[in-house]
A and B are shown apart, each in its own frame.
Chain A
Amino acid sequence: MVQSKRQKYLFLLFCLLPTLVVFVIFTIYPLFNGLYLSFFDWSGTGSVKTFIGLGNYKELLHDPIIPKTIWHDYFLVVTKVIGIMIIATFFAVALTQLKVKEAPLYRVIFFFPNIMSVVIIGILWQFIYNPDLGIFNTGLKAIGLGSWTRPWLGSMEWSLPSLVLPSVWAGIGLFMLMLMGGIMNVSKSLYEAAEIDGANQWQQFWRLTVPLVWPQIKTSILYIVITTLNGSFVIVQIMTQGGPNNATQVMGSYLYQKAFQEFHFGYGATIGVMILILSLATVLVLQFLLKREKVEY
């Protein structure tokens, strides 16, 4: 145990410093520099970077596309939370409470889309929505609802809702597993006691499962919200590129378009700041709304 203070100190530096340095350079510095850039009018070349104060923010407030992108993002947040939570909870309860023999098989299959590349998911779903070949339109024709067929991703009204299904499809598995973990931690004796007291399955679910699994439910909702606000643009970029006519434009895809396609890097950074503020504010509000006393029986 003969270690000088100096040696200890050096070891600590060895452990922490390299990681912290790369983290500062590639994560913290870019975020703050992004904030800094949002006060400039800049097309990317060094010479014409002019300080315009809050000019970009004023432009943001008057940009007619910005409210659309915000609305689209929150539409995806709400529909994804509802869709994923209902289906994932249903499957989690079904696979844990009712002793289905082949439960592990479902678990393996349902989870797989979670580790698929978003690019592959997007391309496959483009085919599912394909007006001529896709299962949606051929299925509708087959059951005599040919008048309901439409070019799903090319339609102004239906393109945005059409993006929800792939996200739900790809997300169910993870949240089902998280909820299953919570349910399996609930002691069996509680369900037995409830059964003896005459509570039916429905009552058991609302009075027992939901309160006891609340931490997992809360985490799942927050996680869906964060990943959607911070990453919805990836599937948008692959499936619709924000179109048709901005009908699926979300905040992130608009940032990409403004910064990397139209070279308004200052304005792009301003959109980035908006995403940052909105997503942090949403998480704070949600954390407050979803707060519940910890329940123990």
Chain B
Amino acid sequence: MKLGRILMKTVIRVPLIIWALAVLYPIIWMFLGAFKSNGEIFASPWSLPKVFNFHNFVSAWTDFNIGTSFLNSIFVTVLGTILSLCFALPTSYAIERLQFRGSKVLFNLYLSAMMIPMVLGWIPLFFLLLKFHMIDNLWALSLIYAVTQIPFSVFILTSFLGTIPKQLEESAAIDGLSPYGILFRIVTPLMMTGIITVSIMNAVNFWNEYFMAMIFLQTDEHHTLGVAMDLMNQQAQYTNAWGALFAGLSIAIIPIIIVYAIFQRQITKGMTEGAVKG
């Protein structure tokens, strides 16, 4: 029996290790490739680079627009995350804490938007932006990003708020604090954990977003990382700048790795809870 258990554990480990390698393999390959010259990449994809030179990174950053896109991505990520929170937090508070007619309906309206394919809306959205001269505008893109994450944010924040006892708010109200004071000075600090979870999830989403950026942005100087990497990949067929492409991908993924290393728990929690809505 004991021997059987040990044997079983060993057998079980094989697929686990294989899958772990399958996940890590392309990522490591990408980082190695970022330091190699084209010749090295083609000659022996798996070898370590002969010398670790940062030439590809410099080239990706300056010649291939990754630098500008990096800054643009930071801009839309930060602005989108802040806006998203500004939209979702007061609404979540009202839905969860203030009894008003239609709160359930409003909550379900936001919730159902998580199931609707947004592709259909992108055509009118494109012309809406065109009409207001906001195509190719990072402010407009951030606003649209923020709105797309309202349903998810409201969903997570209301359920988080439901776990916080009401006493503090009630006694603050008795002490004469205005409802605005209660929301911003009592409830907001209490909700920090939930706010951080939501904001990180939103930020990761905005950092990685590609399709809306491709439709709503048009010039190189406004492209975000997703679009820039896609274009670089398409051009690499002709420019053969594979090393620079890998360097560009590495630059784009490093912030995600850092965020994951710090907030791994919040991210896994946010994503699993966000999916549990059916």
Complex Cα distance, B277 from A287, in Å, reads: 13
Query: In terms of DSSP, what is the predominant structure of the interface of chain A?
Result: helix
Q: Mark A1-25, 1 if CB is under 8 A from B, else 0.
A: 1110001100110111011101101
Chain B: which residue is nearest A132 at the CB level?
Answer: B42
A230 with B117, Cβ < 8 A, contacts A30-B122, A110-B20, A127-B26 known? yes
User: Taking the complex as formed, is A119 at the interface, i.e. its CB lies under 8 A from any CB of chain B?
Assistant: yes
Tell me the chain B residues, 1-31 only, with Cβ under 8 Å from chain A: 8-9, 12-13, 15-16, 19-20, 22-27, 29-30
User: Taking the complex as formed, is A155 at the interface, i.e. its CB lies under 8 A from any CB of chain B?
Assistant: no
Tell me the chain B residues, 235-278 only, with Cβ under 8 Å from chain A: 245, 249, 252-253, 256, 260, 264, 267-268, 271-272, 275-278
User: Taking the complex as formed, is A242 at the interface, i.e. its CB lies under 8 A from any CB of chain B?
Assistant: no
| A280→B24 contact, CB < 8 A | no
Question: What residues of chain B lie closer than 8 Å to A216, measured between beta carbons?
Answer: 276
Chain B: which residue is nearest A224 at the CB level?
Answer: B275
| A23→B275 contact, CB < 8 A | no
| A100→B19 contact, CB < 8 A | no
Chain A: which residue is nearest B8 at the CB level?
Answer: A98
Chain B: which residue is nearest A10 at the CB level?
Answer: B179
Q: Mark A120-148, 1 if CB is under 8 A from B, else 0.
A: 10011111100011010010000000000
Complex Cα distance, B125 from A48, in Å, reads: 19
Chain A count of residues within 8 A CB distance of the other chain? 95
Complex Cα distance, B156 from A268, in Å, reads: 33
| B94→A117 contact, CB < 8 A | no
Complex Cα distance, B7 from A169, in Å, reads: 27
Chain B count of residues within 8 A CB distance of the other chain? 82
User: Taking the complex as formed, is A289 at the interface, i.e. its CB lies under 8 A from any CB of chain B?
Assistant: no
Other-chain residue from A29, A100, A117, A275 in contact with B117 (beta carbon distance below 8 A):
A275
Q: Mark A231-262, 1 if CB is under 8 A from B, else 0.
A: 10110011000000000000010011001100
| A94→B174 contact, CB < 8 A | no
| A287→B278 contact, CB < 8 A | yes
Most buried by A among B24, B148, B229: B229
| B98→A15 contact, CB < 8 A | yes
Q: How far is the CB of B94 from chain A (nearest CB, A)?
A: 4
| A12→B100 contact, CB < 8 A | yes
Binding site for B on A (CB under 8 A): 1-3, 7-8, 11-12, 14-16, 18-20, 22-23, 25-27, 29-31, 33-35, 37, 44, 87, 90-91, 94-95, 98, 100, 105-120, 123-128, 132-133, 135, 138, 169, 172, 174, 177-178, 181, 216, 218-220, 222-223, 226, 229-231, 233-234, 237-238, 252, 255-256, 259-260, 265, 268-269, 272-273, 275-276, 279-280, 283, 287
